[in-house]
Each structure stands twice: as C-alpha cells, then as structure tokens.
Structure 1
Amino acid sequence: MSSKRCLIYIPPEPRDTTDKPFSFSVLPLTTDVPGGGRALVTTVTGSFYLGSRKNTNLSEVWFVPYFDFEGRYGLPVRSYIWLDRNKWALRGDMRILKYPEYTYGLGKLKTDDDKLLVDRSYLRVYQQIFRQVSPGLLLGVGYHLDVNSKIKTNSQDPTLTQFSGYNYGTTNGTTSTSSGISFDLLYDTRGSSINASKGSYLNITYRMNPEFMGSDRYWHSLYVDAKKYYRLTKSPERQNLIALWSYYWTTFNSNAPYFDLPSIGWDDFNTSGRGFQQSRFRAKSLFYLEAEYRKDITRDGLLGFTLFSNLNSTEDYKNPLFSKWSLGVGGGLRIKVDKLSGTNISLDYGFSRGYHGFYITLGEYF
C-alpha cells in the first residue's frame, strides 16, 4: 500500500512596512573624468511607502552629486513616487551639469579612437504625472525642458559642427533649448524599480517641442521602454531570475538639437550600454536590447552575481536602423545593503569591441 503527499507552497503574507517611514543607502566613489582627472561621486537612494505595502509600490528618490576641483560638477535628482494604492504616480528628473564628454558623431561611422571632447553646461527639468485607469496601467502628461549651453571644443580641435556634420545645437558658444509636453502611457507591476524581481514594465512617451513653448525649433520624439522579469525559483526570498530590457527611441525630423538626439547611456536612468563608453552612439533613431541573469550566491541574499549581454543599432546617413549591430557583454557581483528596498551595490565589468570598463552603482541597472 502506498500513499502520496502533495506539498503546496504558500508564500508568506507581505509585512506592512509603513511603520518604517524611510530607508536610505549611500555609496561614495571616484571615477575618471573625460579629458583627464577624477571626480568624486556620491550616490544616495531613499525608499519609502506612501501607503500599505500590500497595494502600494515602493517610492524611490535618487541623488547622485559629483564634482572635481576644476569647476566641473553634476547635481542630478530623480524621483519615482507612488501614492496610496497606486492611484497616482509622479516621476521627476532634474539635473544641473557642467561636465565634458566624448562624442563620436552620428551613427556608427567613426571608430572608437575617433572621438571629440566637448564641454557644455546642461539643465534638465522633467516632470510627469500619471493617473491609474486600471490595476498597473496609468495614463499621464508631462513637461520636459532641455537646455544645453556654453558648448565648446578645445581650440586645436575641430568644432562639433565640423566633426559631426550636424547643424543643430553644435555651434561653439551657443545655447540650444527644447521645451515641450509629453503624453504618456505607463504599465508597471514590478512593485519596486530599485531591484525588481517580478512583473513587467512598459513606458511609452510621445514628446512635442513647439516653438511657442520656448524651443529653438519644432521637433518631436517617441520613446518606448519595456522590461520583463522571469523568476526561475518559487522562493520569494532567493534571487534567481532572467531580466529582459528593450527600448526604441526616435526623433521624427532632423531639427532636434545634437545633445537631445537618442544616445546610448542617455535613457531615462542613464543605465544602458554597459560595455560601451557613454554617448558612444548617437543618432536619429536607436534600438536597444539587453538580457541579464541574476542569482544569489549566499542563502541570505547578501552576495550575488549577474551575467549580461546587450545589443544596439542606430540609424545614420549611410546605414538604416537594424543594418548594423554592436554587442556588449559582462558580469558582476552584488552586495545587499538594504533588505527593505532590495538595494544592493552593483559591481560590474563590461566590454565591447574597442572598449572595456568597470561600472558601480546602487540598485540594479534595470
């Protein structure tokens, strides 16, 4: 006589953590500055719930100031706020930057060694507000302002106009302004964006920049961003998953200023393109795809590792979108620093043909 026993796993009820109003993590580090020197960077993340954890997503704020001792600095503040029961969501992105960066012109016509150092000041003010129309689905509107000023190259170098062959927002000493509104669709069932372990994400933003709102010239763009997370274990306490990310970013005419064009590493959170120099590719249209495997090393989740690979394609004067691809790969370690938000220190190494580098941040890259 034999018997069979059926074991059914019932996950524990999530604990309401509204009694812990706020948690934060800090990560100081130094990094190389394009053109020489090093800068001090401090990443601060804050996490909190504005409702019950059972039906309200985790709200997050990121502050990443950096500076060197030669008058270069950056003051970026980003926020992703969820109100009680996710009825409303607010997303903000404000930056004041004065920093040089390398640029490689448009598309993939230049080699990794053929780059130009450009200095500029940059002001960004983005604010979007979303209203829930069904669970996980929200519609919204937003205001977007980009001001690039004091654009210049070294006197012995060509101007950005000469280097890129692009005439909008590239003249030395000039200022380009883009000011406009957006219409947005947001679908987010992740619960947290700092270290998502389940759910899906979709953001569609259509942006218009009319002259009557202060833009130098009219241009419009479309940004479609999608993420999906597949758990490979039933245990909610263990990290073992595959994360997928893709975005498509395009401008519909040629009037967009140079630094407002789609560019690798300039997505919403500046996290795409591990294995590439930031701004390595810039074009009228950009398509990006990334896959990452994440797994805990220790049973308590203190240590983990990740393996990732990404692809991107751009459109230039000679090559249409999807005709040429660039591949980046790498891996890294994870160190958990806050269990409430799932925040960890991400230590990654990525490389591509002609470039390699280390990447350090708080939280996951997507």
Structure 2
Amino acid sequence: MNRHYHIPVYRLLQYSLCVAMLLLCGSCYAQTDSTRSETDVVDIYRKLFRSRSHAAKPNKSTIAFLPAVGYNPSIGFQMGVNFTGGMYLGDKKTTNLSIGALGGYITTKGIVSFQFRHNVFTEGNRWNFQGNWQIAKIVTLDYGVGTGIDQPHDALIIYGIPTNYDSTVFPIQYRYIRFFEKAYKEVAPHFFIGAGASIDMRSNIKDKNLDSTHITPHYTYSTYEGFNTTHYNANGFLLNVQYNTRDQLNRPYHGTYADLGIRVNETFIGSSANAIQLLSEFREYIPLSHRNPSHVLAFWYWGNFLLSGKIPYLELPGTGSDMFNRSGRGYTIGRFKGKSFAYAESEYRFPISQNGFVGGVVFANVQSGTNNLNSGFLEYWEPAAGAGLRFLFNKNTRTNICIDYAVGRFGSNGFFLGLNEAF
C-alpha cells in the first residue's frame, strides 16, 4: 500500500545514513562495460555477503516489500509493511507486466488498514483486470472544500454558514470498506473497453471537532446535501474506454496511457444518493536518450467531474484520490477536495549511478477543486514541487524504492515513501 508519510526530524538522520550507505554500495559496484548491466538490491546483497549462488536469471515474477513506518500527531506512530509483486502471464513481447500490491498498517492510536490492489494482463493483453479492495479504520485530516482558500479556518464559510472554529484542521474518524473492480477487453491493438463496479461504504463517522457550539465542514456539507452525518455509501457502476501503449507498468520508458470513464451511483444498489461522474486520466512518457532509457520526461493528468446528483463528503475527489494514492506529493492525502477536481504533474527521471542502482527525479504538480457552491473550479491552483532518489529493488520488473521530498503552500512539506514510481 503506497501512502504519504510525514517524517519528523529525528528520523531524517536515520534515512540520511541509509541513503549514504546505498549510494556507497551503488558506486562501489558500478559496472564499466559497454553493456551497462544494471545492479539491484539483490545483486548488492550477493556481493556484500559473497553469495556462491549464480547470477540471477530474469524471473517471470518477483515480490518486493517495504516497511510502512511514519508519524503524524493525529494518528500517532504508524507501523506496517507493503508488498508488491510483478509477473508476466504471457510472452513479454505481447503481454504487459501484471502487478499487485498488498499492504497493512496499524498506529498507536488504534488506526488499522488492509488493502490489496492489482492490475493484471492476461496472455496477449486480451483482458485487463484492475482492482482495489480495502477495509480500514481511518482518521483523515480535513481542511474543508476547494482550493485557493487563504483565510484562517475560523473564517471558513460552507454554503454561507461559517464553521466558527479556530482550528486549521478537522480530524474525522470512520470505518471504511471498499470493493473496486474493473475488467477491460481488448477490442483493437492497444484499445480496451471496460466495465465494473465500485462499492464504498463509510460508517461510525466521528467529527473530532464537532460539539454543541462548533460545526465542521463535514457536518455542514452533509446536512446541506441531505446525507446522514454518521454513515453513508457511494455504490456505482463503471464504464470505461482505455488506450495503452506503455512498455511497462512499474516504470515505463515510453508510451501513452489514456482512460475515460463514467461512474453512475444508484440508490437501488445501496448508494446513499444518485450521481453521475466523469473520470479521466492521461499519462505520457517521452524517452530523452537512445543510449540510456532511464532518461524519461513523464506527464500525468487526472480528473474527476460531477455531472449530476450528489456525492458524500468523504467521497469527494481530491489530493491522493488516485488508485495508488500517489498524487499531490507536497500535501497530505485529502488536503484539497471538491465536487470536481483536476490534477496535473510533470516529472523528469534520470540515472545517477553508472550501474543504474541509484536514480533521481525532479517533479512539479498543481491541483484545483471546486469551492463551497461548486464554484472556483480551475480558478485557483495549488502548486507543489520536489525531488527524490530512486534505488533499484528488482531490475527484472523495474521496481524502485522511492524517497521524495516535496514542498507545497501553507507551509506544507514532507517526505513521501513508496515502492514504484508515483505514476
């Protein structure tokens, strides 16, 4: 499970030492031959411990893991583990890499989450299955609706009603069950048509700052829109069209990905309200070097637009609402949200060590969401930018360990850890 983690200063020294050791290992074992063979964590382990095993052969599958460790004052210390796996279910020349991610974590304040996500291609790319299953007890840090809000939250107005609270953040605790599954059928080379369903159920919702004298953005929005303030569902059907020419999913060197879909929430399948949303995503990967494909310029756009109906507050699209919760580096998940939301990011990826073990990225992103009465969309943009290091975990599946640092507005900044690229 790839998530954003803000790390306190005392942990930065630990990560700095780890980074220094990894850089040293990468430089010590750099290859100088013309083939520029890559070195990953497994290769370095063998060399450091003088393993007698033969050189690793390209496997059809692999599993990588990364501890999920972090700290946040609202959730306490977080400990867990993330597993990712990759496998080719057919000939590599005609079949994309299938990937899956399984993660779980628990915090000192009783928050628990288990999540499984997958993107599977059958032989010859005839079928593509995408899924996201999760069960969790969550605390989210809410900052209200929209972008471009500079005033303090005691002046924040939702639907003309002031929240009248002197806090800058509104913690919300709830239980969450999600089942999201789509199946795509290839109808022409690189073109797919898909359908599926998304079941999102939230219960035991508790506004930590809500009391008899203060109201919160969640309470005001839910009351105004006619939702129960303690539980609601967003259950709907999905219909998508997709175009995909990426050479690989974990870390593409070239290709295009585009997906356009409609989500229809219906009360007859348990949704708390009817709604129609337009879902869109586009990614482009441009190779910058014929000699070294690790030089890549990448672009990402993600958008979710409410066409009609109503959606619950915690279902509003926003920062980190993409499938792997990787958008919006520089801000916490859910920092900005709206009935309609758009996000764009560009990133330059490049090698650092000669053997390909250490790489780097620089990136910048912007996001915009509707404000109180569905206004202000695309009028206000929230920017962020940063840089990061990449350590090659498995060269056969291009799995990277990613460590990024990003800075946004309103003093927002932090380290963001994960397996595989953000997009």
2:136 maps to 1:82? no
**CA distance in structure 1 between the aligned counterparts of 2:280 and 2:172, rounded to whole angstroms:** 28
Answer whether contact 1:189 1:200 (CA < 8 A) is retained: yes
Alignment of 1:272-291 (within 5 A): 272-291=327-346
Q: What's the counterpart of residue 244 of structure 1?
A: 299
Give CA-to-partner distance per residue, 1:110-166, whole Å, 9 cap, x none: 658622000011111011001001111100100110001110022665454566544
Return the offset for 1:353: 1.4
Q: 2:415 aligns with which of 346, 358, 366?
A: 358
2:303 maps to 1:264? no
Q: 1:205 aligns with which of 252, 258, 261?
A: 261
**CA distance in structure 1 between the aligned counterparts of 2:182 and 2:294, rounded to whole angstroms:** 32
Deviating above 3 A after TM superposition, structure 1's stretches of 4 or more consecutive aligned residues are 109-113, 155-166, 168-172
Answer whether contact 1:199 1:228 (CA < 8 A) is retained: yes
Q: What's the counterpart of residue 277 of structure 2?
A: 221
Q: What's the counterpart of residue 178 of structure 2?
A: 124
What secondary structure is seen at the aligned counterpart in 2 of 1:212?
Answer: helix
**CA distance in structure 2 between the aligned counterparts of 1:302 and 1:222, rounded to whole angstroms:** 40
What secondary structure is seen at the aligned counterpart in 2 of 1:271?
Answer: coil
**CA distance in structure 1 between the aligned counterparts of 2:395 and 2:58, rounded to whole angstroms:** 15
Answer whether contact 1:118 1:160 (CA < 8 A) is retained: no
2:196 maps to 1:142? yes
**CA distance in structure 2 between the aligned counterparts of 1:161 and 1:170, rounded to whole angstroms:** 13
- Amino acid in structure 1 at the alignment position of 2:192: L
**CA distance in structure 2 between the aligned counterparts of 1:58 and 1:36, rounded to whole angstroms:** 35
Return the offset for 1:359: 0.3
Return the offset for 1:325: 1.0
**CA distance in structure 2 between the aligned counterparts of 1:342 and 1:364, rounded to whole angstroms:** 10
2:103 maps to 1:48? no
Q: What's the counterpart of residue 306 of structure 1?
A: 361
**CA distance in structure 2 between the aligned counterparts of 1:294 and 1:104, rounded to whole angstroms:** 32
Q: 2:100 aligns with which of 54, 58, 61?
A: 61
Answer whether contact 2:236 2:271 (CA < 8 A) is retained: yes
Q: What's the counterpart of residue 10 of structure 1?
A: none
User: Which stretch of structure 1 is more off in the superposition, 123-132 or 249-258?
Assistant: 249-258
**CA distance in structure 1 between the aligned counterparts of 2:336 and 2:226, rounded to whole angstroms:** 17
Answer whether contact 1:56 1:85 (CA < 8 A) is retained: yes
2:205 maps to 1:151? yes
Structure 2: 5+ residue stretches without partners: 1-55, 154-166
Identity %: 28
Return the offset for 1:34: 5.3
Q: What's the counterpart of residue 9 of structure 1?
A: none
What secondary structure is seen at the aligned counterpart in 2 of 1:76?
Answer: strand
- The alpha-carbon distance between structure 1 residues 161 and 226, as it changes in their structure 2 partners (threshold 3 A), is same
Q: 2:351 aligns with which of 272, 277, 296?
A: 296
Answer whether contact 2:274 2:309 (CA < 8 A) is retained: no
Answer whether contact 1:98 1:121 (CA < 8 A) is retained: yes
Answer whether contact 2:59 2:396 (CA < 8 A) is retained: no
2:384 maps to 1:328? yes
- Amino acid in structure 2 at the alignment position of 1:147: M
- Amino acid in structure 2 at the alignment position of 1:104: Y
Q: What's the counterpart of residue 168 of structure 2?
A: 114
Give CA-to-partner distance per residue, 1:196-252, whole Å, 9 cap, x none: 1110111112010111111111111111000000110013x5411110001111112
Q: So what's the TM-score if we normalise by structure 2?
A: 0.78
Q: Flag the structure with higher helix content.
A: 2
- Amino acid in structure 1 at the alignment position of 2:118: S
Q: How many residues align?
A: 348
- The alpha-carbon distance between structure 1 residues 154 and 169, as it changes in their structure 2 partners (threshold 3 A), is farther
- Amino acid in structure 2 at the alignment position of 1:221: Q
What secondary structure is seen at the aligned counterpart in 2 of 1:64?
Answer: strand
**CA distance in structure 2 between the aligned counterparts of 1:230 and 1:19, rounded to whole angstroms:** 26
Return the offset for 1:187: 1.3
- The alpha-carbon distance between structure 1 residues 227 and 169, as it changes in their structure 2 partners (threshold 3 A), is farther
User: Which stretch of structure 1 is more off in the superposition, 352-361 or 185-194?
Assistant: 185-194
- The alpha-carbon distance between structure 1 residues 365 and 164, as it changes in their structure 2 partners (threshold 3 A), is farther
